Amino acid sequence: MSLLDNIHSPADVRALPPEALEELCREIRGYLISAMSVHGGHLASNLGAVELTVALHRVYDTGRDRLVFDVGHQCYTHKLLTGRKDFTDFRDLGGMAGFPRPDESVHDAFVAGHASNSVSVALGMARARTALGEDYDVVAVIGDGALNGGMALEGLSDAGKSGEPLVVVLNDNGMSINESVGGLADMLGRMRTRVEYIRFKKWYRQTIMPHIPGLNRVLARGKKWLKDRIIPENIFDDLGYEYIGPINGHDLRKVENAIRWAKEYRAPVLVHVITKKGKGYPPAEQAPEAFHGVGAFDADSGMPHYTGEDFSSAFGRALTEIAGEDKTVVAITAAMKEGTGLIGFQEAYPDRFFDVGIAEEHACAMAAGMAAQGLKPVFAVYSTFLQRSYDMLIHDVALMGLHVVLAVDRAGIVGRDGVTHQGSFDVAYLSSVPGMKIYAPANFAELKTMLRKAVLEDTGPVAVRYPRGGEGLLLGDTSGKTAETVYFHGDDVTIVSYGTEINEAMAAARMLRGRGIDPEVVKLNVLSPLDTEPVLDSVRRTGALLVAEEACAAGCIGERLLAAAEQAGVALRASRLVNLGDGLLPHGEPWKLREKMGLDNGSLCSAVLEMLDGKDQA
């Protein structure tokens, strides 16, 4: 029996003799590689954090102490060590999540899926502990790439001056998803510390300060003089932290000792560990970006099982072509050049490519500055990450009507990454931005056409939203009109949809035809400003409306269409809005999530039949 088989809780990890820990780490890596080759997930980041996670569980009792992950995509070892070794339903609907979830385990302190919030959350927990007079430890684990996010610096600034006993572990692998960029990354690369200073500092705090308080004031300047000669100044000192590091993050004994020292300080401490993303798996070590978030792959070779084109790559290719025609076109990404398909653009036009790190707010404001001075910036960003830029979209872009183009990737159902990554809200929040135009391509050809219009023809803020994955059966380009009846011309019911969900709507229409129902399908190409007339023309004949969309219920297109019908005096005998609802969409395979939300073709067909049977009265 392996060591991992005998680990059922962190107490079992703490009970292991030190000489067994290296073997445990080897077994964990082997398990992760095997499991991810079947289910997909975030592999490289987890392989790099194995020793660090084991060390944390050797020092802290996460059933009581609070371990806060930043982003959370490096939590798989944590799950293995906290009683969740069965990955057979990993990231499936109803199965174990790929990110920390407090509703899944008491050992998960906080939901995590986006970057840069861990220190703020941890400080809130530490202050709650003090206010309530409770006794537990708080530790935050943040990657170096997340330091680029403004919120990380806000949290670090407040926590460092708070005096709260709090440990921040900086997992420095030189990367976020792609290689870390910016001044903070350069600073981390230069920082070095001697163990001698750490030992002196600990001795000083424990021996001198409690017994000779007055001497502390006398020695303060001398202490700083000594420190300045042993260790160079760094930003964490200035923010008020006791700094420990950098430490080899794969030397478990050293990492464990450093974390124990940090815990004993009873003050804000930052432990700086150096790790290698993809550690222990050669394909991931050689190409960590490719193994950040993976689908199923061959464990021996590292080759993915699916290599077909997706919307991200189609976008990158189209933008590169457009940039060849207009030298004012520039591309911006927030540490996601591979995920958003921009590697080819960077290679072709390195001087017009800007990776700002995990800093979506900065990216949006910078794009506004570029547009104000005559460039045509295209900011490629995931739907859920763009949420962070909402203030900038209104204040920095919309108020001046600037021509900033948003390439909104992962719109709608994303799938197995789950609740923190589902693109449920962009239709609602982008539609609320004054002057925003929103395109919704249904296939690669339409993406190319709409992107070209957005960049070269439109003015003001423009968004092109498209899903994760590939296109469906509808391959024709009908993007010339704002709304287009793309299939059937019926008199019984109007079915409205957009994006790739149109494929499910059309399949449902075929089923209805087989049942003697005569549907009309209206495909929307532009969601804002919304041209309601083609839909109203249809429902004036059919008297029944079903709108299917991968968007949250509040602020969805269906609400606006019903309002337009009411204002126009169009009588509806039945209507139904099928969308992602008012809640948060869980993780799971996309097709299962569509079934769950009633957005698959069979469910849409059934919904129409129920409407026409009189169960939905307008």
Distance (Å, whole) CA 78 – CA 586 = 21
Average pLDDT value for residue range 308-317: 93
- All CATH 3.40.50.970 domain ranges of the chain, comma separated, are 4-193+231-283, 311-465
302 band by pLDDT with thresholds 50, 70 and 90 = confident
Distance (Å, whole) CA 34 – CA 281 = 11
Average pLDDT value for residue range 407-415: 93
Out of 388, 416, 465, 523, pick the active-site residue: 388
Out of 91, 129, 277, 576, pick the active-site residue: 277
> What per-residue confidence (pLDDT) applies to 594?
93
Q: Quick one: CA torsion of 24, 28, 30, 35, rounded to 10 degrees?
A: 160
* DSSP bridge partners of 575: 545
- Is 263 an active-site residue? no
> What per-residue confidence (pLDDT) applies to 202?
59
Q: Name the CATH superfamily for 4-193+231-283.
A: Thiamin diphosphate (ThDP)-binding fold, Pyr/PP domains (3.40.50.970)
457-486, pLDDT tens digit by residue? 999 999 999 999 999 988 888 887 777 776
- Location of structure tokens 């591979």: 338
> What per-residue confidence (pLDDT) applies to 181?
47
Percent of the chain at pLDDT > 70 equals 89
156-203, pLDDT tens digit by residue? 999 999 999 999 999 998 744 445 444 454 445 444 344 455 556 556
- CA gyration radius, the chain: 27
378 band by pLDDT with thresholds 50, 70 and 90 = very high
Confidence check: pLDDT of 293 > 60: yes
What backbone torsions phi and psi does residue 142 show, to the nearest 5 degrees?
Answer: -125, 135
> What per-residue confidence (pLDDT) applies to 602?
95
216 band by pLDDT with thresholds 50, 70 and 90 = low
In the CATH scheme, what architecture does the domain 483-612 have?
Answer: 3-Layer(aba) Sandwich (3.40)
Lowest-confidence pick of 92-106, 258-272, 592-606: 92-106
Average pLDDT value for residue range 291-320: 85
Average pLDDT value for residue range 88-100: 86
Distance (Å, whole) CA 290 – CA 283 = 9
Confidence check: pLDDT of 218 > 70: no
Q: Between residues 18 and 487, which one has the greater pLDDT?
A: 18
- Is 277 an active-site residue? yes
267 band by pLDDT with thresholds 50, 70 and 90 = very high
Percent of the chain at pLDDT > 90 equals 66
β-pairing verdict for 268-274 and 166-172: parallel
Half-sphere exposure at residue 188, Cβ-oriented, CA atoms within 13 angstroms: 25
What backbone torsions phi and psi does residue 453 show, to the nearest 5 degrees?
Answer: -60, -45
Distance (Å, whole) CA 264 – CA 261 = 5
Whether 239 and 4 have beta carbons less than 8 Å apart is answered as no
Q: Between residues 383 and 219, which one has the greater pLDDT?
A: 383
Confidence check: pLDDT of 455 > 80: yes
Contacts of 286-290 spanning 24+ positions with Cβ under 8 A: 288/44, 288/173, 288/175, 289/44, 289/175, 289/177, 289/178, 289/338, 290/338
Distance (Å, whole) CA 270 – CA 262 = 8
> Considering the domain 311-465 in this protein, what is its CATH number?
3.40.50.970
> What per-residue confidence (pLDDT) applies to 178?
46
Out of 289, 360, 446, 504, pick the active-site residue: 360
- All CATH 3.40.50.920 domain ranges of the chain, comma separated, are 483-612
Does residue 246 have a cis bond before it (omega within 30 degrees)?
A: yes
> What per-residue confidence (pLDDT) applies to 311?
95
Other C-beta atoms lying within 10 Å of the C-beta of residue 472 = 17
What does each C-alpha distance from 358 to 41, 355, 393, 615 come to in angstroms? Answer: 20, 9, 17, 48
Other C-beta atoms lying within 10 Å of the C-beta of residue 207 = 10
51-68, pLDDT tens digit by residue? 999 999 999 999 999 999
Average pLDDT taken over every residue of the chain? 88
> What per-residue confidence (pLDDT) applies to 192?
37
Confidence check: pLDDT of 515 > 80: yes
Lowest-confidence pick of 188-202, 396-410, 523-537: 188-202
Residue 460, phi-psi category: left (phi > 0), alpha (psi -120 to 50), beta (remainder): left
What does each C-alpha distance from 126 to 133, 163, 206, 321 come to in angstroms? Answer: 11, 10, 23, 51
- Is 85 an active-site residue? no
> What per-residue confidence (pLDDT) applies to 212?
64
Q: Residue 38 contacts by C-beta under 8 Å, 6 or more apart in sequence?
A: 296
> What per-residue confidence (pLDDT) applies to 96?
87
Confidence check: pLDDT of 114 > 90: no
Half-sphere exposure at residue 541, Cβ-oriented, CA atoms within 13 angstroms: 16
* DSSP bridge partners of 497: 523
115-156, pLDDT tens digit by residue? 889 999 999 999 999 999 999 999 999 987 788 888 899 999
Q: Between residues 376 and 480, which one has the greater pLDDT?
A: 376
> What per-residue confidence (pLDDT) applies to 541?
94
Buried b (16+ CB within 10 A) or exposed e, 520-538: bbbbbbbbbebbbebbbeb
> What per-residue confidence (pLDDT) applies to 616?
56
Q: Residue 206 contacts by C-beta under 8 Å, 6 or more apart in sequence?
A: none
> What per-residue confidence (pLDDT) applies to 128?
97
> What per-residue confidence (pLDDT) applies to 254?
95
Q: Between residues 86 and 354, which one has the greater pLDDT?
A: 354
